[in-house]
Amino acid sequence: MAEDRKRFAVIGVSFVVLLAIGALLTFGVVYNNKPGDVETRSVTSDAMSTMKTVEAICSPTDYKTTCVNSLKGVNTTDPKELIKAGFAAGVKCIGASLKKSDALRVIEKDPRAAQALENCKELMGYSIDNLRRSLENAGHFDLNGIDEVLSNLKTWLSAALTYQETCFDGFENTTGDAGKKMKQALKTATQITSNGLAMITDFHDTLESMNMLSTGVRREMLSSDDRVPDWVPEEVVIRGLVERPAAKIKADLVMAKDGSGKYKTIKEALKDIPKKSNKTFVLYIKEGVYREQVQFNKSLTHLMVIGDGPTNTRITFNKNYVDGTPTFKTATVAVLGDFFIAKDIGFENTAGPEKHQAVALRVQSDRSVFYNCHMDGYQDTLYAHTLRQYYRNCVVSGTIDFVFGDSAAVFQNCTFLVRKPLDNQQCIVTAQGRKERRQPSAIVLQNCCILPHSSYVKNGNTKTYLGRPWKEYSRTIIMESYIDDVIDSEGWMPWAGNFGLNTCFYTEYGNTGPGAKTAGRVKWRGVKNITHQHAADFAPGRFISGNTWIPRARVPYTAGLFHAQLKVAHASARRSFV
C-alpha cells in the first residue's frame, strides 16, 4: 500500500489531492447496500483504477467503510466531476442537518438547548465555508507550492471538525435529547471530515518522506531574523505599524466616543468597512471605553483595528453563561474575517468570576495577528477558537481555562496574569481542545511570563495549573518562558478522571523561574519531554507557517527559538507586572 501511495504521488499529485478533497466533501453519499443488493455489472479498467485509488487514499482513515462507500456512489473517473458530485452531496447532507436543527428548535422547550441548536446552524455554516475553500484551493498548486497548500488544507479541515464539535458542546447541561439527535444528524459529516483530514495528513507525510516538499522554504522558516523578507509583496506591508503611534497612521475610518470621529460606536462603523477585501483597511478607534458587543464578520477580511493603547481604548461587555448565554456567544468581541490585525486595543468581559464562562475575545480568523493587546476576564477570557493565530506582547488575565480553544495559536513575549478566583475554585491557564490526533492545532507559549495578578492571594485552598485536557488530544507547549511560583508543582490538572491523560501532549522546554521545576510534575503518559529540534517545530515559523504572513503585519516577530534573549525579556516583564 505504501508503494501505491508513492506511485500516486509521483504520477498524479493533483489527481490524488483533488480526489481526497472530493472524498472529504462527500458527506452524505453513504450507501447501505447489503451484499445481495449489489448490482452485477461489468467492471471497466477505469473503474478498477478508480477503486484502487479510492482504497489507497482511504487506507489511513479512521472510518474506512464510510470513506470507501461514499466514493463508490460517484460513477466517474474524472476527479473534477467527482469533486462536484461530492460537494453537491455534501451541501445536501449539511442542508438536511440544518433543517433538522430548525425542526428541533421549534419544539425544544429547554432555552439552552434551543440556543445550542441555533448556534449549530451558524457553526455548520462556518464548517461548510472551510470545506468550500479547501475545495477551491486544492486545484491551484504545483509541487513547488504543495507544502503551503497542504498546510492550509489541514488547517481548514481541522477547523471544520472543531466547528462541528463546538455544536455538540453547546448541549452540555441541557435537558432532552436534542444533542443526541444533532450528533446523529451530523455523524456522517463528522466522519467524512475526519477522513479528509487523515487523507491530507497521510499524503503530506508521504511527500515529506520522499523529499518532495519545499525544503528551502522550511529552512527559511527557522530564521530568527525580525526583518520583513524581501519576498513579501510591497503592497500588503503596513509600513511603520510598530514605530508610529496610532494618531500618526493614516486610517481609512476614525471613530471616537467624544464625537471627533465619524462614528461613536463600533457597530455603526462596521457598515463602512469593505467586504471581502484583499487590501488592508485601517479602523482607528480613539481613546475611550466602548461598552458594546462586537462581531467582525467573516466578510471583513484584511481589517486592521488600532487603538490608543490597551488601557486607553477598551471594548467591554458582560455577557455570561450563568445569565443564560452559551459560552460561544458570550464574547465581547468576536473576530471571524481572515488576516485580521489588532494593535493597542483592550478586550474585556466584566461579568466577574461568579458568572463563570464569560469570553472577552473569540478568534476564528485565519492568519490573524494581535500586538500589544490586553484580554481581561475571569473564566474563559480568550477563546482561541480555530485556525492560525499569532499574539505578540499581549497580556491575558483570568482564572479558569482563561486561554482555551482549538486553534493553532502561538503567543510570543506575552504575559499571563492569574487573577483571584472564587473561594472554591482552582485556576488553570490553558484548556486546549484538540479532538483528533491529526489536527494541526495547539496552544504554544514561547518566551512568555506566567505571573500572579495583583489580586491573587496564594493559599492552601487555591492552586494554579498550566493547563488541563479539555478534549482527548489536547496539546499545549510552554517553552523558553518564565513561570512564577504561582504554578503548582504538579503543573497539569486532570479534566475528569483519566480522560485525556494518555492522549494529550503537554510539554515544557527551556523554561525558567521558581514554577518551572519539573521534578514534581504529574506522571501522565501525555506529559512529554522534547528535544531542541522538536521544540523548534512549535516556533511560529514552522508551526503556523508564520514567515508567509506574520511579517506583513509589521509587528516584532521571531520565527524560531529565542535562546539568549530569554533572561532580558523575563526580567523586563517581571518589573512591569510584579
Compute CA distances 519 → 354, 490, 508, whole Å: 34, 9, 12
Query: Cell match 458570550: residue?
Result: 330
CA pair distance 110, 220, nearest whole angstrom: 54
List 401, 406, 484, 488, catalytic entry: 401
- Map residue 391 onto helix, strand or coil: strand
Three-class SS state of 159: helix
CB 480 within 8 A of CB 509: yes
Distance CA 350, CA 495 (A): 26
With beta carbons less than 8 A apart as the criterion, state whether 357 and 380 touch: yes
Our answer to whether residue 205 is catalytic in this structure is: no
CA dihedral over 106, 107, 111, 113, signed as positive or negative:
negative
The C-alpha atoms of residue 162 and residue 421 are separated, in whole angstroms, by 29
DSSP string, 214-279: -HHHHHHHT----SPPTTS-GGG--TTTTTS-GGGS--SEEE-TTS-SSBSSHHHHGGGSPSS-SS
CA-CA distance, 72 to 85, in Å (whole number)?
12
Sheet holding 382-384, edge to edge: 294-296, 333-335, 361-363, 382-384, 403-405, 427-432, 464-467
Alpha-carbon span 37 to 25, nearest angstrom = 26
- Going from the C-alpha of 98 to that of each of 103, 133, 188, 336, 519, the distances in angstroms are 9, 20, 14, 21, 50
> Judging by DSSP bridges, how do beta strands 427-432 and 403-405 pair with one another?
parallel
Where would I find the beta strands (DSSP E) of 340-426? 341-343, 346-349, 361-363, 368-371, 374-376, 382-384, 388-392, 395-398, 403-405, 408-412, 415-418
Which residues are tagged catalytic?
A: 401
